[in-house]
Amino acid sequence: MTPKRIAVVGARGYSGLELIRILNHHPLIQKVSAFATQNFNFSHWPKVDCHTMEHLPEADADLVFLATPAETSLELAPQCLKRGQSVVDLSGAFRLKTHSYAEHYRFEHTSPEWLKEARYGLQPWLQDHSIPTSGPVLIANPGCYATAILTALLPVLKDKLIQPNSIVIDAKSGTTGAGKKAVESQLFAEVDQDCLPYRIGRHQHLPEIQEACLAWSAIQIDPFMSTSLLPVRRGITAAVYARVQSGVSPKQIEDSFRQAYVDQPLIRFAAIEDQADLLSLRKVVGTARVHLAYQLMGDKLYLYSALDNLLKGAASQAVENMNRIFDWSGHLGLEHLEALA
């Protein structure tokens, strides 16, 4: 396995910083070039060279991570790809195949040819045969809410255990999900001791959830979806509720998750009565894992998902996608990440 050279664009943002931290300890990363709009220094991370954005065209990199706003990724990704560099984009610039970018991201998409080539990088659902083996690869890293919700929902939807028209989603995120830019509504004094819903029924991650469900289960869904802001720095907890099909048993639910994730070290799952601590954000924040818990009561299925929005919801899943592009083990370089509490 040949060590690789990596560039991280947007290195001063929350997700960019997590990428730098992970890559500095990755055993097969030879060098990391970090790029941002302002001068900065990561002297405590020896693998990392720091540059401002005007030097990006000179980047000596096999792969570029774009931890940038969607409009910036839309501009930079084609440039990197034309230089022969694979790209893992952490924004929403290349996630949607059929939904309107004007409606959900408020810009017109200007690279339809690369949008067509982009692979939606939900791990572990993205299959190896779907990743091109020659030429540069473009992976659209999923959104944080989408990762939490899809990881819980896809097994039972794909196995046709639930009624698609009954799905309700209630998801909550820490404030770092909004990025590092100063916004009044994310100030400590505004969010402390509160839990505020936002973008009810119109979150930009909803269309990618719908497209992914159709792609991997062949089922179209139109769920109720509500998102809320938690007074914590990081972490996502998502609850998915649905009615099961007639006669579905708890064992069928367990078998569905086991079949999907039994060989996935970064996904832990169990019935709530067997392992209730999987519901705890403190057990998963700081790790690259997703924790899934489920409970069937009559014909009502309760699914819960918890992850770190900056790691599995962004940076560590992006590293999983990099590992897959280079045909390395998906969890390589992520085993050392441990819960913060």
Catalytically active residues are: 144
CA distance 4 to 17: 19
CA 270 to chain centre: 22
Q: Quick one: 205 exposed, middle or buried, by C-beta within 10 A (0-12, 13-18, 19+)?
A: buried
The conformational region for residue 298 under phi > 0 = left, psi -120 to 50 = alpha, else beta, is left
CA distance 294 to 273: 9
Closest CA to 203 of 231, 180, 224, 179: 224
- What is the SS3 string spanning 78-91? HHHHHCCCEEEECC
Residue type, 257: F
DSSP string, 260-274: HHTT-TTEEEEETTT
Gap between the Cα atoms of 268 and 257, Å rounded: 10
Tell me the C-alpha distance between 191 and 339, whole Å. 24
SS3 6: strand
- Token digits of residue 102: 């004007």
Helix, strand, coil percentages (3-state) for the chain, rounded to 5, are 35, 25, 45
Element (H, E) at 169: strand 168-173
Amino acid at 239: A
**199 with 253: CB under 8 angstroms?**
no
* Distance, C-alpha 41 to centroid of its chain: 27
